[in-house]
C-alpha cells in the first residue's frame, strides 16, 4: 500500500516524504523516495522529521505489528500520548484515533488512503463472476454479527465462519494469520467465509478493512468459498488482480451492507 500511495501522489504532481518505521517498513519501497527512519515509540522525533520535510498532509498506511509496551521505547512525547489513553483497553482504533489527534494538533492534515488513490473502496454486490449461495449467505450474516461485536470492543475487524461455526476471529495477529489458522480448523463440506467490517464509530481515515491479492491467496489456501466486506467501507488493493484471482479460485468477493443492529 505505501508504494501505491507514493506512485499515486507523484502522479498527481505532489512531493512525497515517507516516514519509515524501523524494523517494519520495507526498504525496497523507499528507493528513490525522500524518507526518514524512526522507531515506533519515538513520537517527538517523528513529528520533527515531518516538520523538517515541510510535510503538510499525512496518510497513514501499511501494517504495523503491536509490540509490547517495553519494546516500544517511548520518548517523552510518546509517554504523554500513552498516558492520555488512560488505563483502559488500548485497542487499535483508540490508539490510531489518538495518533490522528496528535498529528492534527501539530497542524498536519490527515488524509484517507482513498483520497490519494481514488476509487479504491469495494462497491455493493459481487466483484467477480461468483456469488454466495444460501449457505454462504447464512454464514455471512453470522459473521457480520460477530464482527460487529468484535469491533465494538475494539478487538478486530474479521471473522471466519463455516457452516454456522466460528472458526476464528481476528485479534492482534491480523487477517493473514487468521486465515492461516482457519486453514487448520476447517471442517469437511462446503468451505467457510471471511467477513471483514469496519469497527463501529471507527476513524475512517485510518485502518479501514483492506483486502488485496494476498487476502485472496489466503482465503484460497484456507479452503474458503468467499469473502464478504462492507460496501463503501473496505479498501481494495489491485482490484483487477483481486477479481482475476478470485474468479480463478472460484471464490466470491462481495460488498454487503451491514444490518442496522
- Side-chain-side CA neighbours of 133 within 13 Å: the count stands at 8
pLDDT tens for each residue of 73-119: 777 887 777 777 654 545 566 777 778 888 888 999 999 888 888 76
- Residue 162 and residue 112 share a domain: no
Domain membership of residue 261 (yes or no) is no
pLDDT value, residue 87: 45
Q: Which of 117, 135, 161 is the last residue of a domain?
A: 117
- Residue 178 and residue 221 share a domain: yes
Beta partners for residue 229, in sequence order: 196, 255
pLDDT tens for each residue of 222-233: 999 999 999 988
Q: Are 253 and 243 in contact (CB under 8 A)?
A: yes
pLDDT tens for each residue of 140-156: 999 999 999 998 888 88
Instruction: Give the CATH number of the domain where residue 141 resides.
Output: 3.40.140.80
Domain membership of residue 8 (yes or no) is yes
Domain membership of residue 12 (yes or no) is yes
Alpha-carbon torsion, ordered 73, 75, 81, 82, to 10 deg: 30
To which H or E segment does residue 184 belong? Answer: none
For residue 34, what are the domain limits?
Answer: 2-117
> How far apart (Å, rounded) are the C-alpha atoms in residues 137 and 131?
9
Tally of structural domains, the chain: 2
Domain membership of residue 200 (yes or no) is yes
pLDDT tens for each residue of 29-53: 888 999 999 888 888 899 999 999 9
Amino acid at each position: 500500500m505505501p508504494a501505491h500511495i507514493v506512485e499515486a501522489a507523484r502522479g498527481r504532481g505532489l512531493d512525497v516524504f515517507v516516514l519509515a518505521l524501523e524494523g517494519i517498513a520495507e526498504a525496497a519501497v523507499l528507493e528513490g523516495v525522500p524518507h526518514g527512519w524512526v522507531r515506533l515509540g519515538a513520537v517527538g522525533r517523528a513529528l520533527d522529521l515531518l516538520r523538517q520535510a515541510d510535510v503538510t498532509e499525512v496518510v497513514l498506511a501499511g501494517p504495523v505489528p503491536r509490540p509490547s509496551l517495553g519494546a516500544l521505547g517511548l520518548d517523552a512525547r510518546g509517554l504523554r500520548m500513552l498516558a492520555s489513553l488512560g488505563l483502559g483497553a488500548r485497542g487499535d482504533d483508540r490508539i490510531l484515533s489518538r495518533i490522528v489527534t496528535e498529528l492534527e494538533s501539530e497542524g498536519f492534515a490527515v488524509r484517507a488512503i482513498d483520497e490519494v488513490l481514488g476509487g479504491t473502496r469495494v462497491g455493493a454486490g459481487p466483484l467477480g463472476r461468483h456469488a454466495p449461495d444460501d449457505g454462504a449467505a447464512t454464514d455471512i450474516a453470522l459473521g457480520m454479527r460477530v464482527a460487529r461485536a468484535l469491533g465494538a470492543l475494539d478487538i478486530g475487524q474479521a471473522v471466519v465462519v463455516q457452516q454456522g461455526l466460528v472458526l476464528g476471529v481476528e485479534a492482534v495477529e491480523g487477517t493473514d494469520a487468521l486465515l492461516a489458522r482457519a486453514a487448520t480448523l476447517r471442517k469437511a463440506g462446503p468451505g467457510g467465509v471471511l467477513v471483514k467490517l469496519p469497527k463501529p464509530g471507527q476513524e475512517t481515515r485510518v485502518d479501514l478493512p483492506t483486502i488485496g491479492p494476498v487476502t485472496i491467496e489466503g482465503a484460497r489456501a484456507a479452503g474458503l468459498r468467499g469473502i464478504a466486506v462492507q460496501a463503501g467501507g473496505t479498501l481494495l488493493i489491485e482490484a483487477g488482480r483481486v477479481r482475476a484471482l478470485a474468479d480463478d479460485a472460484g471464490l466470491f468477493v462481495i460488498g454487503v451492507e451491514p444490518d442496522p443492529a
